[in-house]
Amino acid sequence: MNDSPTRPPTLGSRLASPRTLVSLLAAVALIGFFLSRQDPAELDAAWSQLRQASPLLYGAALLAYYLNFPVRALRWRLLLENAGTPAAEIPRNRDLAEIIYLSWFVNALVPAKLGDLYRGWLLRREGGSSWTHAMGTIVAERILDLIVLVGLMVTTGLLTYGDVLAAGVTGGPYACLASPPDLSNLGCSLLQLFAVGGVGALAMIVGLILVARHGSRLEPLMPGRLAAVYNRFSGALVLSFDRFGRLLGLSLLAWSFEGLAFWLVGLALGQSLPLPLVVFFALLQAFITVIPLTPGGLGFEPVLATALEIKGFAGSAALAMTGLYRSISYLSLIAGGALVYLLSKKTK
């Protein structure tokens, strides 16, 4: 059943929309404000470090980052199979990886995670699934990612910033959680961030359980066409979590490649990074891209640089590592994605 538009809105129209333009301007303003408050000497030192970065190690970091797309394609195939899509109708893994890459490209250009909707449309166009069925697996993937991301972030965050938490959480954790956000108290701010992430992941798990157990009661209350759409979406969402162990393993492998990319970025700049910090930073970068306010988390780079400075890295080193990693996780998506978008038959 055709349940999506023949073609999604063009990227040109999305890029020219007021919402996209405002979000891009806000992101640029945030970065500009942050850089304007930095010591010019630190900026010069960061630029010098970037120019001296090892091209070989940078290339290895780029390769490591892009290895996560085939892994995500394998995971999506498993989600689609779990949701009842016949294996013969699922596109090849290379096609699934290309679709995922194109969706990340769109997410890097426009806010509100519209690339996920575009991804569902591309899969339907390839004949792999109805649009609502595809979106059910994509939402399931996002829930799985968030559960893994929050779990690893809290674990590695406590290992990395335990000393900061101990020093900053005055009055006990309950007093900290009850107080308003205060960025000057880094320990309390980190604890609040971990708490929000944990509550969000728990809410998603509870919501999934409720849909699985009671979602069918909503169908009789809906108009016929809407009920059919909801049935396909909720069914795909719930069934996607079959074979959870394999899904979890592929998720951890995908995140590991992103962590490896950041570790190699550190080496390219002459920095030796501890494993918990490597994992935490890569996950934090992924976490800010989930925020739908700006395309690809653009404008939240100061959060990444500050996370490194808290651990004692000089401002110049933190800026250099953040900038070099974001050149992979954001700028390369723009450059490479534009090329794939223009050449791919899937976008025609």
DSSP-derived secondary structure for 16-62:
TSHHHHHHHHHHHHHHHHHHHTS-HHHHHHHHHHHHTS-HHHHHHHH
Domain that holds residue 240: 48-79+132-288+300-321
Q: What is the pLDDT of residue 347?
A: 82
Contact, 255 vs 148, CB < 8 A?
A: yes
Using left for φ > 0, alpha for ψ between -120 and 50, and beta otherwise, residue 85 falls in beta
The single residue listed with the structure tokens 């079959």 is 242
CA geometry: angle 159, 42, 35, nearest 5 deg: 85
Q: Is the pLDDT of residue 182 over 70?
A: no
| 64 or 32, higher pLDDT | 64
Instruction: Tell me if 294 is assigned to some domain.
Output: no
DSSP-derived secondary structure for 201-217:
HHHHHHHHHHHHHHGGG
Least confident range from 117-126, 164-173, 243-252, 298-307: namely 164-173
Q: What is the pLDDT of residue 234?
A: 59
Give the pLDDT mean for 52-59. Answer: 98
Instruction: Tell me if 67 is assigned to some domain.
Output: yes
Distance CA 291, CA 333 (A): 17
Q: What is the pLDDT of residue 195?
A: 76
Instruction: Tell me if 314 is assigned to some domain.
Output: yes
For 256-296, the pLDDT digits (tens) are 999 999 999 999 999 999 998 999 999 888 888 877 778 88
Instruction: Tell me if 236 is assigned to some domain.
Output: yes
Instruction: Tell me if 16 is assigned to some domain.
Output: no
For 195-233, the pLDDT digits (tens) are 777 777 677 777 766 766 665 666 666 665 555 555 555
Instruction: Tell me if 15 is assigned to some domain.
Output: no
Instruction: Tell me if 220 is assigned to some domain.
Output: yes
Q: What is the pLDDT of residue 241?
A: 65
Mean pLDDT of the chain: 83
Query: How many structural domains are present in the chain?
Result: 1
Least confident range from 24-38, 43-57, 141-155: namely 141-155
Instruction: Tell me if 208 is assigned to some domain.
Output: yes
Q: What is the pLDDT of residue 340?
A: 94
Q: How confident is the model at residue 1 (pLDDT cuts 50, 70, 90)?
A: very low
Distance CA 23, CA 293 (A): 7
Q: Is 316 helix (H, G, I), strand (E, B) or coil?
A: helix
**Nearest Cα to 167, choosing from 183, 185, 194, 193?**
185
